[in-house]
Structure formats: C-alpha cells, structure tokens
C-alpha cells in the first residue's frame, strides 16, 4: 500500500468525518501523506485529554510530575541542551519577492524553500502520532476570529498550546460553521521513530527551520520543540503572520504587554509597552504598584493586536490565553503576582531546576538558595556548583486566567483603548529611565530606533547591542521599511486627539558605580504614575534634545528608601557625548533602510541632530 492510501485509512479510522471543513480535511490528508505518522489524532482540548497526554509524557520521560501539594497538576520538562531558545538565524520570511522580506529577515524563494521542507517533512512523523490542534488567537466571539490549525508530532506542544491559546472542538465547530479561513501551521520535531527504537525525552533535530510564507499565511516549523519555535500560535502566527495581515488590513500586531492602571481618583488608563524578549514585559504586566493609591490589572504580557476603534481611538487585544514567562528573576519579592498564578498549578515548566521535595526552583525565585537541587540538565546541584541551576531562558507556562490581577476587559473582544505606549530596551548607558516623546511622530522615531542588549531568549551571543524596532526585529513578517511606513500611516486613520502619548523607558541603566540606576519592578509604577500625570498635564518635566524627562522631584519617591531626587537626575540624565555616539549609530541603522525609510523619520533624525548641536 502506498503511503498516501495508508494515511487515508488512518484518517478515516479516527472518526469517519473528523471535520466538515473541506480545506482543513484536505490539508490534514496531505500532511499525513507527507509525514507518514503512525496515527492521526484530532485534539478536542478537554481536561481528560490533557490529563491523558500529560500521563503519556510522564511515562515517556518528557514530563516530570511535580509534587501536587506544591504545584497541582503541573509538570517539568527538560529540553535537549541544543534546543533552548528561538533560533533567529534559522527563521525565514519566504515572500515571493526578496524585497518584501527586507534586510532584517532571512529570505528564500518560496518554491525553493517548499522543496527543501518537503524533503525534510517526508516521513518526519514516522512512528509518532500526528496531532491536529484547531485554535483561535483572541476571543472566539471576536467579530472576525483569527483561526489557526497546528499540526504537530509533539504532545508537549499540544499540552503547551492548550495553555497558550484557545484550542479544541469549540473552535473547530465554529470554524466549520463559518467555513472560515485558518492559518495552517505545520510543526515537526524532525525525529522519526524507527520501529523498535526507544524514544528520547526531548526529540528534536540539529537542523532547524522556522519558516513563514506571509502571502499564503502559512507556517512550517521543523526540528525544534521549544517555545516560539514550536508553539506556532505565538510568535509565528500572532506576530510574524499577523503583522503581514495587519499591514494589509490596516491594523498592528505588536510585541507588547498590556496593563490597566487606575489612579487614586479612579480614572483608568491602559498602557501598552514594547520591550524586546527578556526585557521586562511579563514583569511590568504583573506589576504590584509600590506607589500609594494606584491599582494595576493585567491585560496581556507579550502580544498586543491594535486596531483603530469607531471613534478613531487605538484599541488593543491580547490574542493569547496564557503566560510563557522567563522563570529566572521571577520571585516572591520581584513578581509575587506571577508566583501566585504559578502556585495555582496547571503549569508546564521547561528547563527549570527541581527541588528535592518535587517542586521547581530557579535563580531569583526565593531569597534563600536551596542547599541541593537537580539542575535543568539533570545533574546534582549545590550553591557551589558555579553554574545556573535553571537555564537562563527557562520558562513557566501558565493559564492567564490564574492571574488574580487579570482585568475583566481581557475577555472583551473589543479590547481596550490604549492611552500610552512605552518603548523600552536593556541599555547600560545613554537611554534615560524615561523620556516623553515630543510628538506622536517623535514617538515612532523612538520605537524605530529602539535598541537593546541581546538576551538568552534567542540563541546566540548575549549582551550585544542591536537596534530592535518596536521590539519587533525578530518578528516583523515583512519588510522592516514597510513596517515603519505602516506605523507612520496609523495617525492618518486615527483621531489625533485620541492618539496615545509615547514614552521611551530603560529599567536597566547603570550608575557610574555599576549598579542599576533605578530599583525597577514594582517601583516602575512610579514611572508610570509620572507618565500618566504627563497625560493629565500635571507632572513636571525638563525639555532635552531627545524629549521630556522628569525633574528630580516629579517622580513620586514616597516610601522608597535610600533613593533621592538626585538619584532620579542620574537615572534620567541626557549625556551629550553619549548622544552624539548614539546619533551616529542611528544614522547607520537608518542607512540600512535606504529609500524605504519614511520621510517623517528622516526629519526626526535631522531634528535630533540639530537639537544636539556640535
Ligand atoms: P519574553 O517573555 O522573552 O518576551 O520576556 P519579557 O519581556 O516578558 O521579560 P520578563 O518580564 O520575563 O523579564 C526578563 C528578565 O528581566 C527577568 O530576569 C527579570 O527579572 C528582569 N527584569 C524585569 N523587569 C525588570 C526591572 O524593572 N529591573 C531589572 N533590573 N530587571 C528586570
Ligand atoms: C520571546 O522570546 O519574546 C518569548 C519567548 O516570548 S518565545 O515564545 O520562545 O518566543
Ligand atoms: Mn516575548
């Protein structure tokens, strides 16, 4: 029997008509013929199914079941040490024309790429189950639900996708009823199991391909089981493919957290903030304000889809369903809200350390370091070991519904009006704690020139300074010049009175002595308070060549020990020499865009040059 007729039998055997959606049925058929799994399974998204898959993952050695009293219904997984983060060098945008991918993306001709991938996917699921996961990014009752279907040969991906996105039969039925378009997202770990061969806990392939076809709205991911490489609803769909859809339809898909703040007077403000990977989004999204009388509520921690509302206001929706947060640095003192969400259970931890009583630990979780652990690579670990117990990009994957401070508007398909946008990066020098943009266009300039030192969230060197426009460098699914033009076009569609104010922030600046110039975490509420008081026209600021920075005493330092207005002045200082160097670096970055750079940003650069003077 040929592989394809073999597969027809399999699909039929799993329920005579698993779907009435003709394109979906055809695609599943085609993929199973190509990848030749031993069975095809349609994911229903139920708790029973999840428990069964988790039990299988425990039996297979992928999952360690955690102590139920410490972390109910929770599991730890440990990846292959070569599969621990997103792989930007192996990430491709395969538009028909190279110029549509632009100079910031890897590109290959779609037909050439399909030929390579077809070869890799041929038989890639042999000996494994092929799971079909119907999902939707954003609420299912949205005006136009954004559907996807991930096909994967990894049960770890199924269990994780159930936390990160709305999945299963409800989604499938609505998709069928609407005969809706869906993004086909194909994933294989690229490790076929030969008959009689034992599986490994974390199958993957040394060769990885994370490939997007923006015109077709399709995703093919091969060789990795980790995070953004494998949970295709997240970065691949909700950012890369969605950004291309958003450009065509006049909206924005952004790498942003969403936070609702209520002032002591009871006025609510929604803040969106774009920081590169591992630069503080989840922490700010789950902030406990240290400043009196202010309330914070979470709307989203990683992705924000923004549209222009009926009154010309900018509105944001979080398309995700869970948190996929950096574990190290998340602790009871820095982020108790995340810790409380995690403690409710129903979580998957990847590459953290195990405690002797069946719990998990990572650097920064508790002030006290356990005397003994099993590190993420399975070795005995003590504080003397000299290596981190948890991988720096280890993650917790937890339902967002478990966040106590979740704003009720999270569930609203219309989202919330955005009142302020922050752009921020990890910079030891130059960039002040906070700077208010001179105008909307000046704010876009801040976003377009955003820069940050690289982190463990992507494979490659750490601490290397790079430009990361709107924190989207690895996630723009098309030409970055077109992306900046798209941002530039938003104002014309919006009500100018309702455009958010834009701020540039840097929680990571150092003092001349080498310590952090700002305490960060919950105290970032003090910076947010200043930003909102700027919107309200209440707080003081100093005009500088780069924008408006707080005066030393305009930041509320009440209750903050050992931190004075003079320290604020250090944190917000605009150093002329540093900015001359920065200007040269921005000129170099802009030169890469050539003619694609919007005129408005050329004008902003010229204005900055002039204001900085000699
Ligand atoms: P991704 O999930 O990769 O997109 O990361 P993220 O932007 O959500 O970053 P996250 O909030 O997880 O923070 C990453 C790291 O930065 C953690 O180790 C935090 O402890 C640290 N961090 C976050 N906020 C602050 C801050 O205000 N000050 C300092 N010094 N460190 C911070
Ligand atoms: C990021 O790197 O920005 C993340 C983690 O949020 S991942 O899902 O792996 O992309
Ligand atoms: Mn992220």
Residue 228 in marked binding region: yes
**Which atom of ligand 2 is the closest one to the Cα of 276?**
3
Radius of gyration, CA atoms only, the chain? 24
Measuring from atom 19 of ligand 1, which residue has the nearest CA? Answer: 329
329 alpha carbon – ligand 1 mean position (Å): 7
* pLDDT value of position 614: 87
Transcribe 472-511 into DSSP letters.
Answer: -TTT--S-HHHHHHHHHHHHHHS-GGGPPEEEEE-TT-B-
Ligand 3 ion: residues within 5 Å (CB): 277, 302
* pLDDT value of position 13: 42
Residue 471 in marked binding region: no
Q: Which residues contact 443 (CB under 8 A, 6 or more apart)?
A: 421, 423, 437, 501, 502, 503
Ligand 2 in reach of 235 Cβ (< 6 A) = yes
C-alpha 328/C-alpha 255 separation (Å) is 20
* pLDDT value of position 5: 43
192 alpha carbon – ligand 2 mean position (Å): 26
Residues with C-beta less than 6 Å from any ligand 1 atom = 275, 277-283, 301-302, 325-326, 328-329, 334, 457, 507-508, 516, 520-521, 524
Runs of H (alpha helix) within 241-290: 242-249, 281-285
The model's pLDDT over 495-517, given as tens digits with 9 standing for 90+, comes to 999 999 999 999 999 999 999 99
Closest CA to 158 of 129, 120, 190: 129
Q: How far apart are the first and last CA of the chain?
A: 78
* pLDDT value of position 2: 39
The two structure tokens encoding residue 303: 């992705």
Pocket test residue of 278, 285, 397 for ligand 2, highest count of atoms within 8 A of CB: 278
Pocket test residue of 236, 302, 392 for ligand 2, highest count of atoms within 8 A of CB: 302
Active site residue 279: yes
ipTM: 0.99
Pocket test residue of 87, 161, 227, 350 for ligand 2, highest count of atoms within 8 A of CB: 227
**Which atom of ligand 1 is the closest one to the Cα of 457?**
3
Measuring from atom 32 of ligand 1, which residue has the nearest CA? Answer: 280
Looking only at the bridges linking them, the beta strands covering 209-213 and 91-93 are parallel
**Which atom of ligand 1 is the closest one to the Cα of 301?**
8
DSSP 8-state secondary structure symbol assigned to residue 235: I
Closest CA to 518 of 526, 191, 498: 526
C-alpha 193/C-alpha 213 separation (Å) is 28
Please report which ligand is nearest the Cα atom of 160.
Answer: 2
Measuring from atom 5 of ligand 2, which residue has the nearest CA? Answer: 228
The model's pLDDT over 35-68, given as tens digits with 9 standing for 90+, comes to 999 999 999 999 999 999 999 999 999 999 999 9
3-state helix, strand, coil split of the chain in percent (to 5) is 35, 20, 45
546 alpha carbon – ligand 2 mean position (Å): 30
**Which atom of ligand 2 is the closest one to the Cα of 234?**
8
173 alpha carbon – ligand 3 mean position (Å): 30
Catalytic one of 94, 204, 236, 279: 279
Residue 160 in marked binding region: no
Q: Which residues contact 393 (CB under 8 A, 6 or more apart)?
A: 84, 85, 227, 278, 326, 351, 455, 456, 457
C-alpha 71/C-alpha 55 separation (Å) is 16
Ligand 2 in reach of 324 Cβ (< 6 A) = yes
Q: What's this model's pTM, rounded to 2 decimal places?
A: 0.96
Residues of the chain with pLDDT under 70: 1-17
Residue 524 in marked binding region: yes
Residue 280 in marked binding region: yes
471 alpha carbon – ligand 3 mean position (Å): 9
């Amino acid at each position: 029997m040929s592989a394809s007729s073999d597969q027809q039998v399999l699909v039929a055997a799993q329920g005579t008509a698993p779907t009435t959606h003709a394109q979906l049925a055809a695609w599943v058929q085609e993929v199973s013929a190509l990848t030749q799994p031993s069975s095809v399974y349609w994911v229903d998204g139920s708790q029973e199914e999840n428990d069964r898959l988790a039990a299988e993952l425990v039996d297979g050695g992928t999952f360690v079941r955690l102590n139920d009293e410490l972390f109910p219904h929770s599991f730890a997984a440990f990846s292959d040490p070569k599969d621990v983060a997103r792989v930007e060098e192996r990430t491709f945008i395969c538009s028909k024309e190279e110029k549509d991918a632009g100079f910031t993306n890897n590109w290959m001709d779609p037909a050439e790429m399909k030929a390579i991938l077809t070869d890799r996917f041929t038989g890639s699921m042999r000996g494994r189950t092929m799971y079909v996961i119907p999902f939707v990014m954003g609420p299912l009752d949205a005006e136009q639900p954004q559907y996807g279907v991930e096909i994967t040969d990894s049960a770890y991906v199924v269990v994780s996708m159930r936390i990160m996105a709305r999945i299963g039969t409800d989604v499938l039925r609505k998709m069928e009823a609407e005969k809706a378009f869906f993004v086909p997202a194909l994933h294989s770990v690229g490790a076929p199991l030969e008959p009689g061969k034992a599986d490994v806990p974390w199958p993957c392939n040394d060769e990885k391909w994370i490939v997007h076809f923006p015109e077709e709205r399709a995703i093919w991911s091969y060789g990795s089981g980790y995070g953004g490489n494998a949970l295709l609803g997240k970065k691949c769909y909700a950012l890369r493919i969605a950004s291309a859809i958003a450009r065509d339809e006049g909206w924005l898909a952004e790498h942003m957290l969403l936070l609702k703040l209520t002032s002591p007077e009871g006025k609510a403000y929604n803040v969106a903030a774009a920081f590169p990977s591992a630069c503080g989004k989840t922490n700010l999204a789950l902030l406990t304000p240290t400043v009196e009388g202010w309330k914070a509520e979470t709307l989203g921690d990683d992705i924000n889809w923004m549209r222009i509302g009926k009154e010309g206001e900018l509105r944001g929706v979080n398309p995700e369903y869970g948190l996929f947060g950096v574990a190290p640095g998340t602790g009871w003192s820095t982020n108790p809200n995340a810790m409380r969400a995690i403690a409710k259970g129903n979580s998957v931890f990847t590459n953290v350390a195990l405690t002797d009583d069946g719990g998990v630990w990572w650097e920064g979780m508790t002030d006290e370091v356990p005397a003994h652990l099993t590190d993420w690579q399975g070795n005995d670990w003590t504080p003397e070991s000299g290596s981190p117990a948890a991988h720096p990009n280890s993650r917790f994957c937890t339902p967002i519904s478990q966040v106590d401070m979740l704003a009720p508007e999270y569930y609203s398909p219309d989202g919330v009006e955005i009142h302020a946008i922050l752009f921020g990066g990890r910079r030891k020098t130059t960039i002040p704690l906070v700077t208010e943009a001179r105008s909307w266009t000046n704010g876009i300039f801040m976003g377009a020139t955003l820069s940050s030192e690289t982190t463990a969230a992507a494979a490659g060197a750490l601490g290397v300074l790079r430009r990361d426009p709107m924190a989207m460098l690895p996630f723009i699914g098309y030409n970055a010049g077109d992306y900046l033009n798209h941002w530039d076009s938003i104002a014309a569609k919006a009500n100018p009175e309702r455009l958010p104010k834009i701020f540039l922030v840097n929680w990571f600046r150092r003092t001349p002595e080498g310590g952090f110039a700002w305490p960060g975490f919950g105290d970032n509420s003090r910076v947010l308070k200043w930003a909102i008081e700027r919107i309200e026209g209440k707080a003081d600021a100093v005009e500088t060549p780069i924008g408006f920075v707080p005066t030393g005493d305009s930041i509320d330092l009440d209750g903050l020990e050992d931190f004075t207005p003079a320290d604020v002045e250090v944190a917000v200082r605009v150093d002329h020499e540093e900015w001359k160097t920065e200007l040269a670096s921005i000129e170099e970055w802009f030169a890469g865009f050539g003619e694609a750079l919007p005129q408005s940003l050329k004008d902003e650069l010229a204005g900055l040059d002039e204001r900085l003077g000699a």
